[in-house]
Structure 1
Amino acid sequence: MLESSTPPLAALDGYRNVTDLLVARAAAAPGHVAFEVEDPSTGSWRPITTRGFEDEVRALAKGFMAQGIQAGDPIAIMAPTRYEWAVADLAAWFAGAVVVPIYETSSPSQVNAIVADAGVRLAIGGTAEHTALLQEALADSNAVTLGAWTMDAETTGTLADLVAGGVGVTDEDVEARRTTATQDDPATIVYTSGTTGEPKGVVLTHRNFLGQVLNIAAAYSEIVNEDGNTVIFLPLAHVLARGLQLICLASGM
């Protein structure tokens, strides 16, 4: 068998887990625009700085912790690609959780299979319909669950409600939880599409993400830098889109 390899372009030293990518970027360039989110009522774009994004992430992490999420607990996210997906993803990691993405087009049987197999404790849906599917799956699972919440602001049980419930959690509590995971702890469980049977889970560690993010950024610095912009239209349930999002976030793109 022939084997070839290339040396890494970036070292992972100094990073405990994926959350350090955001913390380091927010410290280096807090006022830099990390996201632009469209206001559907006006059609204009609202800039969100790196520090503003980090503040939202920490606030939602407090909400997760207040609900009872412990280090290593799985949190499912089922939604189309949108800004709130990014907030929920990083917030779950700040709370020490493991993220379980579910495609927004998944059937009820696939949602039930993933939630049960991963032992999901809390779920986030993009719409009321997604949230209802997740709630049903949680009810049918054998795990002790903490409910399903929605990104849709026009209903109840929203991310804003989670944030409001976390006001009693301190910054020190979040920081202690954020730094719990090491590079070799699970960061996410990504499930196959299910076209060849039941969806199959693949565990990716914080080291997997850090190695991808730091080395791709080093290899393509002429593209990946703080003067660049990108539009992500791939589903964030797919690990390629999540890796790309982390690369952009860590590099100020």
Structure 2
Amino acid sequence: ILTPVYDPFFNAIEINNRITVKSDLKLVKNHYEIDFDDLAVKIKDVKILLFCSPHNPVGRVWERAELEKVAEICLENEVLIISDEIHADLVYDSYQHIPIAKLSKQVNEICIMLNAPSKTFNIAGLSAAYAIISNEDLRIKFQKTIDMNRLSRGNIFGMLALETAYEKGEIWLEKLLHYLARNYDYLTEFFSKEVPEIKPVTIEGTYLTWLNCKSLNLDQESLIDFFINKAKVGLTSGEQYGAAGRGFMRLNFGCPRQILAEALENIKAAVRN
């Protein structure tokens, strides 16, 4: 896994009695990049790469060249790619999400792509998700595992919501992306002018911002306490996404502007006092 990363990735590995191998992303000029040298070394004894695209929590929308390099390393080492692409629709202007399986027929054969309408259309409670697996052998193994564990194949309400969202939700999504982009611009300008001690990492997609709080000079436990008990804002601890997330907090700005503004003012007051 490329850390920091969505925390259920860790549990998915451990609950299946597998060993977690972590390759830390590099923060370069307030923008995360894959450390391909590190990845190429660590992947040699690995069977599966759990890949997050677009990336949660650092907000990267991987470029074609980056995806091609990831795929090349996996092909060379016969590593299966399981790509979580649940934020695929939440990409901002001038960026484009590229499903890694679409790079080539060869790459498609080693990919399992996972997605759902839950993030884009806020229908997580309906439990509707899907996997795209072109490789027939992989698809049979995947289905067998689903059947062996008696996992739900969904429900009629979720299926209908999924179909309706994808067929009729485009105009709504366009308006959502515009609103989210303005929220992101608002919070980045606010931190820059009002609380420069906290620096949002540059993001390209998702409705999540990764706050670099290292200038506050607090350990992670104190940082959590600061936001919850002093600022009265419930953010997610960066350490929840792996050791590489120490000194960071994740903020969800997918909310009404009024709520975001109130939260930012609380953070400002807590830092100043």
TM-score, reference length from structure 1 = 0.29
The structure with more helix, counted as a fraction of residues: 2
Structure ranking higher on relative contact order (CA contacts 8 Å, 6+ apart): 1
Highest Rg: 1 or 2? Answer: 2
- TM-score with structure 2 setting the length: 0.28
